[in-house]
């Protein structure tokens, strides 16, 4: 009987084993030799980064939802916030001379009108060239009209006060969120 020469299975890379990185997807994105627009969402914020690769990842541009507060937007992790973060990131990238990128959604499932696609739409509207199909966008949801309609529907209930407590505390009427969205977008366009 022969002696064992090593393990009979392959140990995955650490980040793959922890379900943090899909290396096949990552390699495909890196082969494009374009910077990546990386969009990530947490419970309280949305972050968009333009990351280039030359031996290792280098963050060129970063924008997050907390930056929008100085322009009058409340920091959340919803679709209008994702659009504005993508728009801000796109404007910063254009100022730095980055004109093209590819979208990196990481391990998120690419679903129509989701947070990564809202940020993508914002970056494209800011001037970045990113390959995409138009069917993944929903401009009404990205501008917050669905939030405004829902707020109008439940206006005089306890659910309204509970659901939109943070907006009310800051003096923002949730049923007017579309107008606030447009005003913040125009401020970002001038900045």
CA distance 159 to 40: 29
Q: What is the mean pLDDT of residues 3-18?
A: 81
**To 5 degrees, how large is the angle CA 148–CA 154–CA 158?**
125
pLDDT at 79: 96
Confidence band, pLDDT 50/70/90 cuts, at residue 105:
very high
Tokens of 131: 């390959």
Confidence band, pLDDT 50/70/90 cuts, at residue 5:
confident
Give yes or no for residue 59 having a pLDDT over 70.
yes
- 27-40 residue pLDDT tens: 999 999 999 999 99
Judge whether 163 and 153 are in contact, CB under 8 Å: no
Cβ count within 10 A of residue 102: 19
Q: Is 28 exposed, middle or buried (0-12, 13-18, 19+ CB in 10 A)?
A: exposed
CA distance 185 to 67: 13
Domains recognised in the chain with CATH numbers: 19-142 (3.30.420.100)
Residue among 96, 100, 143, 97 at smallest CA distance from 123:
100
Task: Give Cβ neighbours of residue 27 (< 8 Å, ≥ 6 apart).
Answer: none
Q: What is the mean pLDDT of residues 13-17?
A: 87
pLDDT at 1: 63
| Helix ranges (DSSP H) in 19-98 | 23-31, 79-95
- 63-91 residue pLDDT tens: 999 999 999 898 788 999 999 999 999 99
- 128-184 residue pLDDT tens: 999 999 999 999 999 999 999 999 999 989 999 999 998 899 888 999 999 999 999
pLDDT at 142: 96
Task: Using DSSP bridges, classify how beta strands 102-104 and 36-41 pair: parallel, antiparallel or unpaired.
Answer: parallel
């Amino acid at each position: 009987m022969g002696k064992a020469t090593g393990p009979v299975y392959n140990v995955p890379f650490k980040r793959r084993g922890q379900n943090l990185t899909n290396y096949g997807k990552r390699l495909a994105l890196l082969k494009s030799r374009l910077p990546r627009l990386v969009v990530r969402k947490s419970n309280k914020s949305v972050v968009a980064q333009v990351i280039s690769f030359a031996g290792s990842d280098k963050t060129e541009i970063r924008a997050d939802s907390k930056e929008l507060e100085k322009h009058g937007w409340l920091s959340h992790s919803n679709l209008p916030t994702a659009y504005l973060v993508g728009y801000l990131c796109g404007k910063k990238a254009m100022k730095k001379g980055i004109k093209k990128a590819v979208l990196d959604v990481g391990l998120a499932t690419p679903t129509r009108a989701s947070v990564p696609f809202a940020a993508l739409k914002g970056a494209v509207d800011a001037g970045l060239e990113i390959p995409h199909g138009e069917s993944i966008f929903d401009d009404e949801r990205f501008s917050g009209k669905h939030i405004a309609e829902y707020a109008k529907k439940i206006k005089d209930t306890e659910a309204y006060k509970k659901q939109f407590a943070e907006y009310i505390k800051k003096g923002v009427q949730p049923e007017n969120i579309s107008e606030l969205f447009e005003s913040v977008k125009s401020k970002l366009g001038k900045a």
